[in-house]
Amino acid sequence: MNIKKIACCIDFSENAEDAFITALDLAEKNKAKLFVIHVSPPVISYQATDTEWMMPYEPEEPLILELEKRMDKEYGARIGEHTDYKLVVLSGHISTEILTFLKEENIDLVVMGSYGLSGMGLVFFGSVAKRVAYKSPCSVLIVRKQKEKV
């Protein structure tokens, strides 16, 4: 397998951290470009409610800028100068945005955690990993948290 472009999907969870470490190692060993991707889910509009109270609308751009700063601090700062990389923040339906990105960028390998955030996030991100693995145009590496040996 010739790996020149690797995408790593992150949601800032512990499992995503393990996926990032794996993706970075693979990118360095294969001299591949690393795309670190975070997808911000769509904001639900409360305008169509039966009450007079409405959630104030906040533009998406400040959120994207904050996510970019956080990605640079938590991930970009740890990537060596010899590794070509790009931090990517997308907005929309998570698995759809990931799949579209993989296809448009002609990614060779996508690396992601087997699950993400706890609670509903765990179920939600797990279903994202499942959908991406099933529909991805490239190979998928799903990283599991290693159990500590006693």
Q: Give the tens place of pLDDT for each residue, 100-140.
A: 999 999 999 999 998 655 444 444 445 888 899 999 999 99
Element (H, E) at 33: strand 33-40
Q: Which residue's entry shows tokens 């070509």?
A: 84
Q: Which domain holds residue 15?
A: 5-143
| 34 within a domain of the structure (yes/no) | yes
pLDDT tens digits along 2-25: 999 999 999 998 889 999 999 999
What CATH number is attached to the domain comprising 17? Answer: 3.40.50.620
Q: How many residues does the chain have?
A: 150
> What pLDDT shows up at residue 137?
96
Report the candidate in 110, 124, 143, 126 with the shortest Cα–Cα distance to residue 16.
Answer: 143
Beta carbons within 10 angstroms of residue 24's beta carbon: 21
Mean pLDDT confidence for 67-93:
94
Task: Give domain status of residue 149, yes or no.
Answer: no
Residue 95 lies in a domain: yes
State how far Cα 119 lies from the chain centre.
Answer: 18
Residue 74 lies in a domain: yes
Residue 5 near residue 84 (C-beta atoms within 8 A): no
Does 103 fall in a domain?
yes
Q: Is residue 125 part of a domain?
A: yes
23 in a structural domain: yes
Counted domains in the chain: 1
Can you give the pLDDT at residue 45? 55
